Amino acid sequence: MSTVVFEVGAALLGACVGSFLNVVIYRLPQEDPARRSLGGRSHCPHCGAQIRWFDNLPVLGWVLLRGRGRCCGQRIAFRYPLVELLTALLFLAVTLWSPWNLPITIDDLGGLHVDTARAVGYGLHLLFVSVLVACTFIDFDKQILPDAMTKPGMAIGVLAGIYPGIAGPISRDASTPYALRTLLASVVGLAVGAGVTWGIRWLGSRVFGKEAMGLGDVKFLGMIGAFLGWQGALLTLFLGCVVGAVVGGLAALRGGLGLRIPFGPYLALGALIALFAQDHVYVFLFDTWPEWQRRNPSSQFLLLGMAVLSLFALFVLVRRGRRAG
User: Residue 143: what are its φ and ψ, rounded to 5°?
Assistant: 55, 40
Q: Should residue 47 be labelled a site residue for Zn ion when binding is judged by CB under 5 A?
A: yes
Q: Should residue 71 be labelled a site residue for Zn ion when binding is judged by CB under 5 A?
A: yes
Closest approach of Zn ion to the CB of residue 42, in Å: 11
Q: Which of 16, 23, 44, 247 binds Zn ion (CB under 5 A)?
A: 44
Residue type for position 187: V
Total interface residues for Zn ion by CB under 5 A: 7
Closest approach of Zn ion to the CB of residue 36, in Å: 22
Q: Should residue 65 be labelled a site residue for Zn ion when binding is judged by CB under 5 A?
A: no
Closest approach of Zn ion to the CB of residue 47, in Å: 3
Q: Should residue 46 be labelled a site residue for Zn ion when binding is judged by CB under 5 A?
A: yes
HSE of 129 in the Cβ direction (CA atoms, 13 Å)? 29
For Zn ion, the closer CB: 44 or 89: 44
HSE of 73 in the Cβ direction (CA atoms, 13 Å)? 0
Q: Judged by CB under 5 A, which stretch of 72-80, 192-200, 219-227, 278-286 contacts Zn ion? A: 72-80
Q: Should residue 308 be labelled a site residue for Zn ion when binding is judged by CB under 5 A?
A: no
Q: Should residue 69 be labelled a site residue for Zn ion when binding is judged by CB under 5 A?
A: yes
Among the listed residues 168, 82, 96, the one whose alpha carbon sits nearest the alpha carbon of residue 126: 96
Closest approach of Zn ion to the CB of residue 82, in Å: 20
Whether the CA torsion 270, 276, 280, 282 is positive or negative: it is: positive
Closest approach of Zn ion to the CB of residue 50, in Å: 10
Among the listed residues 214, 219, 228, 218, the one whose alpha carbon sits nearest the alpha carbon of residue 273: 228
CA distances from 215 to 54, 198, 227, 263, 288 (A): 40, 8, 19, 12, 36
What is the contact surface with Zn ion in residues (CB under 5 A)? 44, 46-47, 49, 69, 71-72
